[in-house]
Amino acid sequence: FIVYDLPNRDCHAKASNGEVCCSYLPNGRCNYGAPGTCEAGLAEYKAEYIDKIVKVLRKYDGKVPIVLVIEPDSLPNLSTNRADPRCGNDATVTAYKEGIAYAVRSIAEATQHVAMYLDAGHGGWLGWKDNMKDFVATVSGLGVAQHLRGFASNVAGYQALGEMCPEYDWCLPSQQHSADSCCYDPCGLSSEWNPSQN
């Protein structure tokens, strides 16, 4: 199952703006420009979304296999799109960090057999060293790593998987390996200088 309803969800694309907001516009959509730390939005997320999911998970824990992917796109957006005021404002940053930490801790405390995977975008998104470094620091700062089974990628966005190259920068033009089979690039993404593409 996908756990996906943080306040100010999908801050960069606004393609899947959720039903929970830190602050609401008159039309019911999220007001990404509102100041604050998302107290009301987090309270709604906890009580109306996560706590209800936890109640169901507790009922079926150990009776059927349950696997969760936690909040696609959220932490990758914090690692790569802070310059976008919709992602970098205090309300969204607080909502994503505190919301994910609350979700993971609540599920872990209520269940023993639920496997949780934290969304990690895809290689084309977090493959840059600085992006991955920021993502790792953000995840570490949540204090929930011990409750996670691992990471999920290619959930909300897709990056083709292929043959693994010997080194992360093997396919860069400066390395002269573009003819190697691990550098196959059907989408022409290696020209964007992102070593994670292949």
Q: Which residues are catalytic?
A: 10, 73
**Residue 159 to residue 170: CA distance in whole angstroms:** 18
Residue 18: name the closest of 63, 64, 88, 71 by CA: 71
Tokens of 172: 């860069």
**Residue 6 to residue 154: CA distance in whole angstroms:** 19
Q: Which residues, in sequence order, are CB contacts of 177 under 8 Å at separation 6+?
A: 165, 170, 171, 183
Q: Are 125 and 103 in contact (CB under 8 A)?
A: no
Which residues lie across from 24 on neighbouring strands? 30
